[in-house]
Amino acid sequence: MTIKIIMDTDPGIDDAAALTMALNDPAIDLKLVTTVAGNVTVDKTTKNAQKILRFFNKDVPVAAGAKQPLIKEFEDAARIHGESGMPGYDFPEDLPKPLDKTAVEALHDEIMSSDEPITLVPTGSYTNIALLFNEYPEVKDHIERIVAMGGSLGMGNMTSAAEFNVFTDPDAAKIVYQSGIPIVMVGLDITMQALLTPESLAKLEHMNKTGKMLHDIISNDGDNSEAGIAMHDVNTIFYLLHPESITTESMWIDVITDGPAIGETVGDIRGAYHEGRTNADVCVVIDSAAFNKWFLEEVAAISD
């Protein structure tokens, strides 16, 4: 059985790696890619998604989405991902055109035409998803779950409280967490555990064409340390394929939409304030060695 997914994304270096895994693992059926402003502007994230699809000669439709958050002023992450969003490798430039419809329209059409519920995998801000739910609430009954990169129970990476994806559009995140759809929160709590180690990165360079491409762009990722490089978005795909390697805790998540803690995801860790209700399974522990092993095996299995 394959897992039918839609990726809503903002490539971005780790997004590109997540797309690589989703496009090439036989257990995943990627039906649609929608793009959003996030790591860089939406024209660049759309082009970057198309570059990855072109690199693998995959015919997955791409639809461009929101240029800015619902309310908050847009702030990109070019300081981490570079001005293009995906520096370090010369990708083909003969790119197909995106769909002649908005991301919201493409999401609606793909979800409603599917013969089974689809899993949404947002790895950028959640603006497109929030707009979808506002305009077409009927789609909620046709979504299996949302496996979303974003949030944190502890420290943020934009402020001491907020993680980037949720900080970028907290109002959209609030809509998503109040949607009633099962959500898996793949946040900094695990993505900062499962670093791609320097040893793993070095192995990629000489593995195959895909390994060289990933090595070259990941080497330009500003989100790094001596311990390794955070592959935040790739953790969503790892969760889909290997949930046994990740520990989750069910709780209620509230999203702060204003003030100095804007973008914070507040977990009711004691179950004290929402009458025992939960709205998310929050990833809290990951087998980082298993993540690195899987990452290398996935890349090695891709034919040049």
Q: Which two tokens stand for residue 298?
A: 């996935």
Angle between helices 13-24 and 288-300 (to 10 degrees): 60
pLDDT at residue 75 in the model: 85
Per-residue pLDDT reduced to its tens digit, 54-107: 999 999 999 999 999 999 998 887 778 788 789 899 998 889 889 999 999 999
CA 84 to chain centre: 18
Cβ–Cβ < 8 Å for 9, 15: yes
Cβ–Cβ < 8 Å for 6, 145: no
Q: What is the CATH number of the domain that holds 237?
A: 3.90.245.10
Residues 6+ apart with CB under 8 A from 59: 53
Rounded mean pLDDT of 41-58?
95
Per-residue pLDDT reduced to its tens digit, 133-165: 999 999 999 999 999 999 999 999 999 999 999
Q: What is the residue type of 30?
A: L
180: Cα within 13 Å, side-chain hemisphere: 7
Measure the CA–CA gap between 79 and 69, rounded to whole angstroms: 19
Cβ–Cβ < 8 Å for 252, 267: yes
Cβ–Cβ < 8 Å for 28, 58: no
Average of per-residue pLDDT values in the chain: 95
Q: Which two tokens stand for residue 211?
A: 């390994």
The band of 273, judged by pLDDT with boundaries at 50, 70 and 90, is: very high
How many domains are there within the chain?
1
Measure the CA–CA gap between 36 and 12, rounded to whole angstroms: 11
Annotated catalytic residue, options 81, 108, 215, 232: 232
Query: Domain range holding 41?
Result: 3-301
Active site residue 206: no
HEC profile for 170-203? HHHHHHHHCCCCCEEEECHHHHCCCEECHHHHHH
pLDDT at residue 57 in the model: 94
Q: Which two tokens stand for residue 32?
A: 């649609």
Cβ–Cβ < 8 Å for 123, 233: yes
